Amino acid sequence: MCGPGVEEIVVACAADEDVWRRQACDGLAERLREMTGAGVRVSDQAAGAGGLRVAVEWVRSADTFVMARLSWRKDGEAVATTGPVIEFSVNDRQVRLSDAGPFGRVLADSFLKD
């Protein structure tokens, strides 16, 4: 997925003022850093030459679940690749802020396994 030569990954989060989404993106970035060894930052800016832009697409959410997927594109590519929709849900409580980081890490795992 990242391939040789990818030294920078930019995570585009679309979190605005949503703290839960921001923490999920931080968890995603942390996991990508661990797994790839690349420089990873959360930003809406494009990746540099030879970099990879990974965007979080928030599919749906409610009090008890969140659904999102990743799309990614290397610098210079016209079309992004889209990953599977990942859902985090709970049956006996609402989604908590403490669930955000782990959800972001699961998103990263789904991206890295392809």
* Boundaries of every domain in the chain: 8-112
Entry pTM: 0.87
The 10s digit of each residue's pLDDT in 5-37 is 678 899 999 888 899 999 999 999 999 999 888
* First-residue to last-residue Cα distance in the chain: 7
| pLDDT block averages, 10 residues each, the chain of length 114 | 70 89 95 90 80 92 94 85 93 94 93 64
The per-residue pLDDT for 113 is 60
Phi and psi torsions of 14, nearest 5° = 55, 45
> Is 8-112 CATH 2.60.120?
no
pLDDT given at position 23 = 95
State the Cα–Cα distance between residues 112 and 53, nearest whole angstrom: 14
Q: What's the confidence (pLDDT) of residue 49? A: 75
